[in-house]
Amino acid sequence: MLYRFFRALVELYGVVALAAFIALFFVAFAFTVLYPIVPIVLIMVAPFAAVTAVGGSRLLRMVERFFARKKLAMARCPQCEGGLEERQLLDPESDDHAEATCLVCERCQRAFIVSGRCFPLKVQTASSSPDQFAD
User: Contact 13/20 with Cβ under 8 angstroms?
Assistant: no
The residue among 77 and 89 lying less far from Zn ion, judged by its C-beta, is: 77
| φ and ψ at residue 56, rounded to 5 degrees | -65, -40
Total residues at the site for Zn ion (CB under 5 A)? 7
The residue among 60 and 80 lying less far from Zn ion, judged by its C-beta, is: 80
The residue among 102 and 105 lying less far from Zn ion, judged by its C-beta, is: 105
Cβ contacts of residue 111 below 8 Å, gap of 6+? 87, 89, 102, 103, 104, 105, 118, 119, 120, 121, 124
Cβ contacts of residue 48 below 8 Å, gap of 6+? none
Question: Which of 80, 90, 100, 123 contacts Zn ion by CB under 5 A?
Answer: 80
Closest approach, Cβ 80 to Zn ion, in A, equals 4
Coil, helix or strand at residue 115: coil
Question: Which of 3, 64, 79, 102 contacts Zn ion by CB under 5 A?
Answer: 79
Closest approach, Cβ 111 to Zn ion, in A, equals 10
Q: Does position 112 bind Zn ion by CB under 5 A?
A: no
Residues that bind Zn ion (CB under 5 A): 77, 79-80, 82, 105, 107-108
